[in-house]
A and B are shown apart, each in its own frame.
Chain A
């Protein structure tokens, strides 16, 4: 029996570029949610923070919750883990115009004081819930629900075109 063929959330939709911004898809090896139960000693990142951990990136993603983006982790005592690798589409928006594009879509304060490098926030992207990770000076990684990938790409693309048209 042939094995099942995997398909990424934004397959066929990305990459795209317009003006000084590009949007591409990132497919991490795995995304695992980590939640602490009583007695856990493993530290989860505080609100809005991220840390490098075990070859992956650990992103705060909510109350008592973090997403490990990278290799699949081994079990950790008193940490509830759930595979979320297929739940999220990870869209990378980068370029000098990236911040202006995002300002069309999210009420987050995107300035360094608000979402500095390495910072994480949960907010809205258009009408969609999303997780925002400032991955570099001009680079943002947007985590959106897999089922909403098409809408997310469309919304970002629309914002990119509007920003590019301003020249």
Chain B
């Protein structure tokens, strides 16, 4: 129910949203949980395993119970914490893990079976038969136990990621964080202040706290305004989710979850990577629950949450609210509620020095199936009695929110006096912890420690500042709360929950200990404690206290499990924002790309580049188009865009020596105006890449790499010049992007080229493997007489700005001669017919010897990979490159393996494999390149090709890799 005069909500802005089938009224500033509680709805979800009815335990992001699904269809967002999700007009929300409805859940039957579903249940029960786990048990368990589900459709939400840099990152906008931000901002530091909530102030917005004589929330609001005015970047609704190396922090900003009608371009979330020179962690603390019997009913919540609902949202979560406390906080709850006119039937406090008016004793039972109706108490004087109430506020002390301090591997320290874990000093370099996160629980301590932490941070980054004055505030810390309460029934059928989200009880932890899962890490995995989406925020410390008790060790000896990022769930769609579909990787397009697509060419990805597969005419399929294009190149002329090949400009007196060092063969002997094919080895003697290199001047070369290995070769050359041969005076730079380069190949290639190049192109001026500067339609360009098709061919290059025009122009000229464009498929056929290799052959485990180029490794000089290539294992009994020709007309398929006829086609009998097959229109046969054990001496032999993946086999003849025009007369022509 709403409490008049309370709350930071806007009562002039009413709104309505849907929860399951009901419309729920609320106000701007409400959360889904606060609006539901205001109308008396306590039941908001079902637990993971037992389908126990549950209501909110907290009023913040640590919430284990009140998980809902928001939005519809593909936009559905599962596992949203109702305690965090702002109430927005028209929002559709649904409960989870209940069928047919939240109030009547068939699988509540699991709860009756609870005695059989204890710790280790899955491991013990579903062991046999082994195959049934995957097929039967796991799907069954997954269906029965679970949280919300994604829609299964592509995610239509826009997401965003971003980077930020600052001198100081302040995590948490409570009194400590606000003070730290103010101190640093006044010193001129560049500050980012991030807080999970939409209103900053932390507990100041949720308690009756005065700062400087004003209500705490008013002081916080004024301070935030002042910080913004000083240039502090205030980030509300932003959870810092992880601390990483080098002062980097991850943070999730919920950008539009609070908007009823967000702009379509507005992202749902933004995942920030924040590089901070320094950090103040002021994340506050989480209140502890107490493990008493049946402590999970809707209506039982933390005292801090009860006060928060009252102060922040003007909501009393019940009409009669009893209190169970082991600290002074419970009495504060009682005073707050009574001041608001809410009935508090009993305050139960087990401590010997419980204040007057409290009942010394404990809560030993509860009842109310869908919501609390009464509690059973056992006063210390003896006896038991029931007290009617519809809510119970539980206060079991506080655990500092120190998770981020553990993200780089540090473990927290047990503080005997505070009876809690506190952060270890220096746990994260550059981070100082302040306020309740450091175990300093009063507002005055928080303000002072915030200021000190900022001063420490400023000193680290070399800024000095005279301290600002501290505002006045309450200096009373909560009283000693020892011992950390380990109650939990012994020998009764009642259960006491620790982990609400994963349904782990005190009994489960004790049982884990009994079964010798006594290490905290083993207990966690055996019971699943702390493994749900809330990562056990409200249960970890209590569970290890139970374990400590059960194993007879102290809490420090028992230790904690590891806190890892993220602090709270982060959608992967936010981390990878924009990287779906075409956004996954940059697209590299050639200058001819639009013209090629206009001709209907399907574009094939090669690395990041897009290259045309073929150019269909009429209703041609790919193979008809490919065969036509290949035949066209062999009979008239074809044009292909080869701009994607890597091009590296190499200049300087050391250029020739560098090329001799990185290539197996010599380039210092190459004449100016000539091109040579080169083979590059890795240090381990295997082939790295191949290509042609042209000598443009005495100290000037242009190297060509394959499209696939362009980056690798550039990296390699930079490594060689910087690390292996810094003595070489050489400069190198990629020019791949500078030049648009087209292959013109076929018997009528010269005619085509000559028609556009001003200089005479003859066998004298441009013999095979010549190169030189030319004028292409008035533009300075380069002409190379090289061939990857075996035909008389040229590559013609112009600066990229002219590429689109030259492509259209060349095509028109080629088409006038009966030629046209050819794509990757035809290019592949032409080179397979000629036995030219690509990275289908030089896969990384292939040597120069294997491809028949061992003699290219020059005797007269050293080169990278030469020594290693001489190892016997790389020279004897190798799989050598061969040509294959199908007998009987069946296709040869890539990846198929080769066996001797009559041998069983299995691994021990493997003789080799197929790398590049095609239908050869020139030879009228299915042919291929492949590798065969000692293949060069087996030409003429017939072997069996078996493709186990496609269930296909055929007989193939081993032939020379060069199957078309073996003498090469056509290219030299």
Contact residues of A with B, CB < 8 Å? 1-9, 33, 35-38, 63-65, 80, 82-88, 103-104, 106-111, 114, 126-128, 145-148, 150-152, 154-155, 158, 161-162, 164-167
Contacts and interface: CB of A to CB of B under 8 A. Distances in A.
B652 A146 contact: no
A95 B64 CA distance: 45
Contact of A145 (B160, B264, B737, B801): B737
A79 to B, nearest CB: 9
A80 B651 contact: yes
Interface stretch (B447-455, B513-521, B582-590, B678-686): B582-590
Contacts of A106: 163
B799 A126 contact: no
A67 to B, nearest CB: 10
A166 B779 contact: no
| Residue of A35, A145, A146 most packed against chain B (CB within 10 A) | A146
B951 interface: no
Interface in B769-826: 776-779, 798-806, 809
A87 B803 CA distance: 12
Given A65-B733, A147-B588, A83 B163 contact: no
B273 interface: yes
Nearest to A149: B589
Contacts of B158: 162
A2 B248 CA distance: 57
Label chain A's interface by main secondary structure: loop
B777 A1 contact: yes
| Residue of A88, A104, A110, A167 most packed against chain B (CB within 10 A) | A104
A1 B756 contact: yes
B652 to A, nearest CB: 5
Contact of A7 (B652, B722, B777, B801): B801
A125 to B, nearest CB: 9
Instruction: Give the 6 A-B residue pairs with the shortest CB-CB distance, closest first.
Output: A35-B731, A80-B731, A87-B737, A165-B265, A86-B800, A147-B588
B165 A38 contact: no
9 contacts: A4-B778, A7-B803, A37-B730, A65-B733, A82-B649, A82-B733, A84-B733, A158-B578, A162-B160
B649 A128 contact: no
A166 B740 CA distance: 41
A37 B800 contact: no
Contacts of B48: none
A167 B256 CA distance: 13
B735 A82 contact: yes
Given A3-B778, A4-B805, A162-B266, A83 B738 contact: yes
Interface of B: 158, 160-165, 190, 255, 262-267, 273, 275, 578-579, 583, 585-591, 608-609, 649, 651-653, 722, 729-731, 733-740, 756, 776-779, 798-806, 809
B761 to A, nearest CB: 15
A103 B255 CA distance: 16
A83 B799 contact: yes
Given A37-B729, A104-B160, A80 B652 contact: yes
B589 A84 contact: no
Given A7-B591, A7-B804, A164 B265 contact: yes
B356 to A, nearest CB: 55
Contacts of A109: 165, 275
A147 B739 contact: no
Contacts of B162: 103-104
Given A80-B652, A87-B735, A4 B164 contact: no
A127 B587 contact: no
Given A85-B738, A87-B735, A146-B737, A127 B609 contact: no
A86 B737 contact: yes
B265 A37 contact: no
Nearest to B779: A4
Contacts of B264: 165
B100 to A, nearest CB: 40
Given A35-B733, A80-B652, A147-B609, A7 B273 contact: no
A13 to B, nearest CB: 12
A6 B265 contact: no
B161 A104 contact: yes
B555 to A, nearest CB: 41
Contacts of B579: 127
Nearest to A160: B265
Contacts of B805: 4-7
Given A2-B777, A4-B778, A107-B273, A86 B589 contact: no
A126 B801 contact: no
Contact of A6 (B161, B164, B802): B802
Nearest to A63: B722
Contacts of A87: 734-738, 800
A80 B650 CA distance: 9
A14 B27 CA distance: 45
Contacts of A103: 162-164
B583 to A, nearest CB: 8
Given A7-B805, A86-B799, A165 B737 contact: no
Contact of B586 (A2, A64, A127): A127
B278 to A, nearest CB: 14
B584 to A, nearest CB: 8
| Residue of B273, B776, B805, B806 most packed against chain A (CB within 10 A) | B805
A111 B275 CA distance: 12
Given A3-B778, A82-B651, A162 B265 contact: yes
Contacts of A5: 802, 805
Contacts of B266: 162, 165-166
B733 A148 contact: no
Nearest to A84: B738
Contacts of B801: 6-8, 85-86
A1 B255 CA distance: 59
Nearest to A89: B737
A151 B590 CA distance: 13
| Residue of A63, A88, A161, A167 most packed against chain B (CB within 10 A) | A161
Contacts of B722: 63
Nearest to A167: B263
Contact of B798 (A4, A127, A155): A4
Given A9-B800, A86-B801, 17 more contacts: A1-B756, A4-B778, A6-B802, A37-B653, A80-B651, A82-B649, A85-B799, A87-B800, A103-B163, A104-B160, A111-B165, A111-B190, A126-B578, A150-B589, A155-B583, A165-B263, A166-B255
A2 B813 CA distance: 13
Contact of B587 (A2, A9, A114, A150): A150
Contacts of B739: 86
A114 B165 contact: yes
Nearest to A111: B165
B160 A4 contact: no
| Residue of A64, A85, A87 most packed against chain B (CB within 10 A) | A87
A156 to B, nearest CB: 12
A108 B583 CA distance: 21
Contacts of B803: 7
Contacts of B588: 145, 147-148
A143 B837 CA distance: 35
A4 B609 CA distance: 25
A147 B579 CA distance: 19
Given A82-B733, A86-B738, A87-B737, A128 B586 contact: yes
A162 B588 CA distance: 25
Nearest to A104: B162
Nearest to B275: A109
A9 B589 CA distance: 11
A121 B587 CA distance: 23
A86 B264 CA distance: 37
B232 to A, nearest CB: 14
A7 B806 CA distance: 11
Nearest to B737: A87
A76 to B, nearest CB: 12
B690 to A, nearest CB: 23
B800 A146 contact: yes
A121 to B, nearest CB: 13
